[in-house]
Structure 1
Amino acid sequence: MNMLSIWPTLVILGLTILILSPKRAFSFLDTAPVAHQHRLDSIDGLRGILASAVVFHHFVMTAYNMKQGTSGLPPSPFYAFIGPGAVSIFFMITGYLFWGRLLDRQRNIKWLDLYINRAFRIYPLYLLLIVAYFIFVIRHVGVATAQTHGETVAQLSQWLFFGLVNQPIPFLNHPEYLGVVGQTWSLHYEWLFYMSLPLLAIVAREKATVAITASTLIVLLFGSGVVDDLNVVFIEHFVIGMLTASLLRSYPKLRGHGVIRSVFAIVAVASAIFLSGSPYSKLGTVLLGISFFLVASGASVFGILTASGTKRLGNVSYSIYLLHGLVINILMQFPRYNANLVFTVQRFWLVTFLTYGFIIAISIATYYVIERGGIRLGRRVIQHLPTGATRSSSVLAE
């Protein structure tokens, strides 16, 4: 066993799922699923696994570089891949859910409700993180800076603007603290997708959505010129989710579960990790897409994704994803904590387990208080709109 061993991470994740599984102890984390015939427990459970993968990616990479005095990705295909690979599948989930609901609702879409729901779902926790980031930077560098008040206001505005701004300027021009908020980059692409929904809704009314989404993906994957652009790769991930939604609606017999589907889902992910080199490569994108299709069509990965503990982990996945960088960076301000990280391999994995557990505990609290509070507030705002009596607060809500 060493710092880059895979099995300790799997054990920690498995133990966490077991701890969260008791029916009564964590029942407050259970939420009634949105009334939608295509919603699957496996997708909810998948979110928890993906958010945890991002945590282990960042934590192991940071600790390894600290011990070795290096920087960048660790020399491990597994730990180098699971972070960006998880975000890639998050994009697929977004494409699957929202495109699918465009297909189902056709013209019956209340756009103002949708964007209010999204804002109150995403922004409250994001605002907490950004304020904590400002405090973290000020605590380390102070308030006296060489930059003008105008530059400071511009930086504050960029960070506070819902995550819409791509790569905001580091606060007070100190990029060394971006690890606190580094994971927020994906929100920019999520918002771009949400803003494209009115246009996509027009396409969703066409009958040949399978052909449209499949041909779009083929062009993006194998067209010349722009396919190496990272932004195009992210579009591919969204389109894979959209194609999955179209296929499962047009060909419902593709749905199903069982050992074979679960085996192939795992094999596809393992192949992507150890053969493709990157989730942003063509091979990595295709293999992750195959695995996602199998899960979305019903594969529960031997019941792991539909276990109560996994679904509860999925319910708090946004908090896990958004806050883990802050928690890790705060803990690393303590010299004794850092010393234990690099002292022995056994001590490292013990600290990893305790750190991950602390992140989960914080995420449970922020989910229950901030995320759920934001959702309720968003619904009240919608109900008080001029046409509130005819509105549905759950329209296209994820």
Structure 2
Amino acid sequence: MEQAIKECERPARFDMFGDVKQFHGLRGLMSWWVVCGHIAATVGLPPMWNTFAVDVFIVLSGFVIFVLLDRKKERYGVYILRRGIRLFPLYLAVMAVSIAMLPLAKWTFAHAPFSGANVGRVQLAEAALSNLPIHVLVHLPLAQGLIPQSVLPSSSPTIVGQAWSISLEWQYYLLAPLLLLGMRSKGQLVLAVAAISALMALGVFFDDAFIGNKAPLFTVGATTYLLMRTSKTNSMYAWYWGFLIASIAASLFLLSKQILLPLGLWAAAVASTRSRFAAPLSRFLTSSFLFWQGDRSYSIYIVHMIAFITVAAIMNLSDVKGSFMEQSVS
């Protein structure tokens, strides 16, 4: 353990996007899509389908983690410690603030226009407050996605709503090395497919924060990396294409045809790295502004609801022109 900590203290001289700058900009763009979607849902604007942005994040994670595992070749302990250091410090700080803000969040959303999203948010705050110790214990290790709905309903979004996908990502971090190992030969690939299928079958007992319910999206990203780095003469090349097609088909089966939008966005981003016909998109995704946002995408994603609840509550208390929430639907 001490050796792992020492290795983690060394600078990580590595581009986690595999030198694909377009994906860095894509991450920044998706983070703001989520923010705008949450604001729209609160003030009664038409839905912005921000869950699609999260789906793109999931595909990105599938790609990025395979890049890290394949190129850095760290021991598992070092790898998972680095991933934990990336996620947990800010997450735990946001969780602590969010716990303190639960009564305020409940009040703020209760005074918002009664869209479905706000009614649901009030109910989530009430659920957290009524059983807070259990929810805290579940959220501390980012295990909220591993609790069956029959045991603790709506466990994943109760305290830090948007962190359901962080729990999902943490599950992928833990399992990804096994997935990569299982995709290095034809025989092991069959075992990987069987394991993923088993996780998908278990998904009926969980919500979207369980890895089985989003496994095909992770594998789309992972297989994209394998195809980008594998020569066409490699015996595994055709198998990777088959696995990618199977992952897309599984996504459509598990997540409905609407998943075509995030998959289409991912395909466009990949095309921007390969085709001169997608040069305008490439220039957009590699712009300095989006690249800067990509560097801060995790912070934007995990912190934004604290800022939003605070501003909304202050404006309601100040009764600015009647109330911030009332203005939004007037």
TM-score normalised over the length of structure 1: 0.54
Shift of 1:47: 0.8
1:129 alignment counterpart: 94
1:39 alignment counterpart: 19
Shift of 1:32: 9.7
Determine which of 194, 200, 204 is the counterpart of 2:179.
200
Matches within 5 A, 1:249-268: 249-251=229-231
Shift of 1:279: 11
CA distance in 1, matches of 2:80, 2:203: 30
1:280/1:88 CA distance change after superposition, 3 Å:
farther
Q: Secondary structure at 1:109's aligned position in 2? A: coil
For 1:102-139, what per-residue CA distance to the aligned partner results, in whole angstroms no more than 9, with x for missing partners? 3445xx43111111111111111111111101211367
- Higher RCO structure (Cα 8 Å, ≥6 apart): 1
CA distance in 1, matches of 2:184, 2:201: 29
CA distance in 1, matches of 2:218, 2:17: 21
Shift of 1:165: 2.5
1:196/1:344 CA distance change after superposition, 3 Å:
closer
CA distance in 2, matches of 1:326, 1:52: 15
1:156/1:184 CA distance change after superposition, 3 Å:
same
For 1:335-379, what per-residue CA distance to the aligned partner results, in whole angstroms no more than 9, with x for missing partners? 13682454368xx9xxxxxxxxxxxxxxxxxxxxxxxxxxxxxxx
For 1:247-273, what per-residue CA distance to the aligned partner results, in whole angstroms no more than 9, with x for missing partners? 1122589xxxxxxxxxxxxxxxxxxxx
CA distance in 2, matches of 1:138, 1:119: 29
1:184/1:237 CA distance change after superposition, 3 Å:
same
Unaligned runs of 5+ residues in structure 2 are 1-10, 107-130, 234-251
Structure 1 residue 329 and structure 2 residue 309: aligned?
Answer: yes
TM-score normalised over the length of structure 2: 0.64
1:179–1:325 Cα contact (<8 Å) kept: no
For 1:186-223, what per-residue CA distance to the aligned partner results, in whole angstroms no more than 9, with x for missing partners? 112111111112322321432799x879x959x97xx9
Shift of 1:63: 0.3
Unaligned runs of 5+ residues in structure 1 are 1-30, 65-73, 142-150, 254-277, 349-398
**Matched letter for residue 163 of structure 2:** T
Structure 1 residue 296 and structure 2 residue 270: aligned?
Answer: yes
CA distance in 2, matches of 1:239, 1:285: 14
Structure 1 residue 182 and structure 2 residue 149: aligned?
Answer: no
Determine which of 120, 134, 139 is the counterpart of 1:159.
139
**Matched letter for residue 169 of structure 2:** E
1:238 alignment counterpart: 218
Shift of 1:287: 4.4
**Matched letter for residue 125 of structure 1:** L
Shift of 1:233: 4.3
1:95/1:212 CA distance change after superposition, 3 Å:
farther
- Equivalences, count: 257
Matches within 5 A, 1:1-398: 34-35=14-15, 38-64=18-44, 75-76=46-47, 79=48, 81=49, 83-104=50-71, 108-137=73-102, 152-161=132-141, 163-166=142-145, 181-206=160-185, 216=193, 232-251=212-231, 281-297=255-271, 298=273, 301-334=281-314, 335=316, 336=319, 339-343=323-327
1:251/1:342 CA distance change after superposition, 3 Å:
farther
CA distance in 2, matches of 1:45, 1:236: 23
Shift of 1:35: 4.3
CA distance in 2, matches of 1:127, 1:235: 25
CA distance in 1, matches of 2:55, 2:145: 17
1:40–1:296 Cα contact (<8 Å) kept: no
CA distance in 2, matches of 1:49, 1:90: 10
Q: Let me know the Cα RMSD of the aligned residues.
A: 4.2
Q: Secondary structure at 1:39's aligned position in 2? A: coil
Q: Secondary structure at 1:38's aligned position in 2? A: coil
Shift of 1:40: 1.0
CA distance in 2, matches of 1:153, 1:119: 23
CA distance in 1, matches of 2:202, 2:75: 37
Shift of 1:43: 0.8
1:167–1:185 Cα contact (<8 Å) kept: no
1:41–1:305 Cα contact (<8 Å) kept: yes
**Matched letter for residue 179 of structure 2:** L
CA distance in 2, matches of 1:43, 1:140: 34
Percent pairwise identity = 21
